Amino acid sequence: MEKWRWERCIKVLQDYDDTEKYIKTIEREIRTPWVPDDENSGISGSRKSQEHETETLWTIQSHKALNQLRKNKEAVDELLSECGRDTETIIHELYIRKFPRYTMTGLVQNHLLSCGRNTAIKLRTNFFEELDRKID
């Protein structure tokens, strides 16, 4: 696997917990765009068209960054539900946690995994390859 694909998988896993926050922030920015103050706004009243609301909803549905964030979150959720306990422990401890306590060797030495270091590396590699396929 190329280095940029590996780094992309790591980034997706590191952002996994904050994905919902990112999605809500982008949606809020789309729904309430910044508009400069109009000095003459009180003269003729304010008109709000229905087309603006449908355009906003369409923008949210077709926004590339939002769709990519949703796709990444679904891929990680699906893979974590399918993988075994050891793989889940590796991914959560090394990549999803904000401040990891262990390294791969530490996970094996402290008996948090029921496999050896080489098998743990294979499990991690397999997880990353599947994640890379799903987010492409």
Tens of each residue's pLDDT in the chain, 136 residues:
899 999 999 999 999 999 999 999 988 887 776 666 666 666 655 555 555 666 666 677 777 888 899 999 999 999 999 999 999 999 999 999 999 999 999 999 999 999 999 999 999 999 999 999 999 8
Give 86-90 contacts, CB < 8 A, sequence gap 24+. 86/113, 86/114, 86/115, 86/120, 86/123, 87/123, 87/124, 87/126, 87/127, 89/113, 90/120, 90/123, 90/124, 90/127
pLDDT value of residue 76: 95
pTM for this entry:
0.78
Q: What pLDDT shows up at residue 36?
A: 67
